[in-house]
Structure 1
């Protein structure tokens, strides 16, 4: 194969083009290609007139004996280029619904076209159809397990466009460790267009303490207040709790705002001072406010993992193993890997406690030289209560976790039960049981986890 430049007038359409049933003549193929989707044909013609031919997408041809070329790939472009170069060809198209208007638009574009830039076309010349058949399917049959073109998702398209409010917000949140790329994409590609739909609504922006100017976001509230609302919105979209079909109209978005948890809404200041959401100027990890409680799903929800996607805690490069365990517990199916999840849960609780105790200088009340897990839980709970971070309900949940009754009397959410998952040959954890344990202790874990 070789790169060549070919006169558009020497191009012949492939009468065996797989887009259509076999055509009988060049004239028939020309008409069929142009009119197959007139709107897309006009769009292609307009793009060529305004920007020139695509330099990174060549057509594919094979030579014929009479010094002409059959177009194996790029027949739509060939048809548009022929029409722009020689618009009189359009006069021979049989009249039908929409044809006169289509031809008029094409002729107007032909008048604007610079003929010197569209009378030739860059091409790859193959020796035979068989040689070209290795490459053509890669363009038209999807990713082909990575051998073909892998399309961008919504976030990647937004990143290319730049100046995208939703992407700006996500980058700012990631820079502040409100969530990670894995949190956003663990379930599916994050719906960036739906986030932009929300940010485009003035009522939503006002409630979250945001303003939008020239595609750039600014905030009027303290960063700790902003964090609450943004994490709630991101969680709602990432988990599919709210999707594009539920947020299409202004009335839909009003319903969303009406049900928004009051605890996640920021306190709007009397006097507004705008500051930019610039990821490059995000606060350092040690200066960030404490994480706020995420929206926790119902215990009867259909999530497949132990830790819901909505549970997000501050991450730290100083806790690499905790970070990995946290990610695994947000990925592993609790129904398929209940034993692995049970053991990881027990490990995650104790390592998180050890990390928190060291960071916050918690005083441990212990009976022996080495503190038990129950003693670590009780001492940490007392430490949090003394700081005013615990209410009676949370204290009751932690007391259940710290209980150490015999196996036959143990409550589901207790250290005895967690120990049995690790040490007993007879313990058999259930996925639903593990999710209940997590749902009960998640407020406590939110205070201590720093992965």
Structure 2
């Protein structure tokens, strides 16, 4: 079999795709069939291809039939590419809008060609297609990693893992600093890779007084001494500091210069660095006396009793609404007491309740009264006002999930409350809380800026 690059427009989707119950004679019908099966996954694939490109380790297989190059392996990725290049191929209006937004944002990176393996016939490719889609096949196919292996690889290779550890620790150190925690949440949801780039520079780590080990974070200063510099970094990341501004060593040296007035003083440096173990693994230490150890005094926040839980453990745990009514604020605060892992059913219901009451209040106060019979409509209208140009990437996931019919759609938020047979999974509830956090925060900010 030979490999050839084909223009996306020169490839035809398979009318006999095993994924479909019936034949799909046109590209539009093939895309509609794939969306019917799982719209959320298909849109996720389109987003990934637009942002990162096609997976070079998985080549598309084509066969020539009646003068057309027909895709017999890789129909999902090719259909996503065709839609990105021509969004009107998508019949569903909400998903067509999402694909259009993705296409505009990644216009310069969307692949126009696909490296394909040309098979002499369908039968000649059958063996490889079967292996691709039917599991391990006693070792002949792809043997998947177990959870331990996945975790081991992620720790070694994922640069964002260190950034997440740092975020967890900052949230624990500065549990009372609301402004900092708001910026931490913004960074976690939209600037995590930028934080990872900052922390990848040894000179920045040295200036801050931190270093990462397998067991945790080595700190050269107390949290109090580092407060100013950490506050400055997260404020910059949440506002203007992007990857393009710290891409090179020279740019990062310039950035260190902007931190000089906020860095801890050398006179505050500890005699020996103190190891702060991961906040996800650390257990409360039993004290043998009423006075904590020197190490604990140096590393722990001033008020350990107010230490925040680990990331994403509670419903909307980092959301603070200052411009809503007293009742809406109380509903949110009561929801934030729910631990997702312990009470996933209550958590799912509270997520829906907080979203509904917040967008409903915003609509009533701002006079957004058109086409709001359903919750998804109220969410859509709210998003259209707080981000009329669809340019805020923090809101992409809320926009996509609220308007499609996938596994985490608004339809399922209703099902969590009204259907006895639907049981929410912890991972899904956690993601819902994370996805809608930026929307709630930005609605609150909008209300503060637009008093009526």
Question: What TM-score results when the alignment is normalised by the length of structure 2?
Answer: 0.37
Tell me which of the two structures has the higher relative contact order, counting C-alpha pairs closer than 8 angstroms and 6 or more residues apart.
Answer: 2
Larger radius of gyration: 1
Question: What TM-score results when the alignment is normalised by the length of structure 1?
Answer: 0.38
More helix by share: 2
